[in-house]
Structure 1
Amino acid sequence: MTVSWSSPVRYVECDQQGVVFNAHYLTWADEASNVWWSATGLPWDTLTAAGGEPVVKASTLEWSSSARWGDTVTVDAETEKVGRTSATVRFTVRVDERVCCVVRNTYVWLSGEGAAPWPDDVRAKLTASTA
């Protein structure tokens, strides 16, 4: 399952040459993650009611080309891998069909006692969303 989020590139997200500053790709992945969590059947209020919350343990970014001021970016989010204690989501940032960056976030479940395996119902929904 792939879900998408999009936004125009704002001036504040760019350097003086009009090229998007690298950190904003992570911000866009975070924005798209809210759409992705909801699409998996796990909106944020449902997750926090389950006694914990997913947190980003690691992020990687791989750039292909620059997004620029005046572009509209679309971020396609899809579940790449689900394990017992983590899940990896791939966020492909593109302008039209041109890929600018791929962000991979690895999420872990954090309860009041620290990192823990996914609750069974959460893991079932994550697994069902795997591409």
Structure 2
Amino acid sequence: MPPSFAHHLRVRYNECDPQGIVFNANYVTYVDVTLTELWREWFGSYQAFIDQTGIDLVVADLQLRFRGSARFDDELAITLDPQLTSASSVTSTIAIDRGADRLIDGTIRHVCVDARSFAKVPAPALLTAVLRP
């Protein structure tokens, strides 16, 4: 099983709403930024993965549960635990924490598709090698 991947970031002022808390849609951006960093660590970049395999991944499902709120200048840890959940799907559990406080948890499921036709395809060996023990 691959290790969980964590990325840390600090909440910027423009990400907050009039109540002074992070606007809910920005948590999705935080997950996306973390995914980008995960791909960079595993494959050099997301584009390098596409170039090597001809396969792209598209979001098929995203679920977040809000347990608390982040505020301006909070440091957050976004942790992803990706697992191969079918021949063509990767599901990552999501945890967004501020110190010991869990603010968000959820899942995001990606489906592998041909980068040109967007037809669903099996996960490439390059990806399964990382996701399988």
- What band does the TM-score fall into relative to the shorter chain? 0.7 to 0.9
Checking the alignment, whether the CA contact within 8 Å between 2:7 and 2:34 is kept in structure 1 is yes
Correspondence list, 1:1-131, <5 A = 1-41=3-43, 43-49=45-51, 50-111=53-114, 112-113=116-117, 114-128=119-133
**1:40 and 1:126 in contact (8 A); partners too:** no
Name structure 2 gaps, 5 residues minimum: none
Aligned residues: 128
Letter of the 2:9 partner, please give it: S
Q: CA deviation at 1:68?
A: 1.1
Which runs of no fewer than 5 residues in structure 1 stay unpaired?
A: none
The one-character-per-residue Cα deviations of 1:72-124 (angstroms, maximum 9, x if unpaired) are 11101111443201010112111111010013110111102311111233222
Once residues 96 and 81 of structure 1 are traced to their aligned partners in structure 2, the CA distance between those partners, rounded to angstroms, is 29
Q: Which structure's residues are more often strand, by fraction?
A: 1
* TM-score, structure 1 as length reference: 0.87
Backbone CA RMSD of aligned residues: 1.7
TM-score, length of structure 2 as denominator length: 0.86
Mapped to 2, the partners of 1:54 and 1:42 lie a distance apart of 16
Q: Structure 1 residues 126, 80: CA separation in 2 closer, same or farther (over 3 Å shift)? A: closer
Contact 1:82 1:127 in 2 (8 A): no
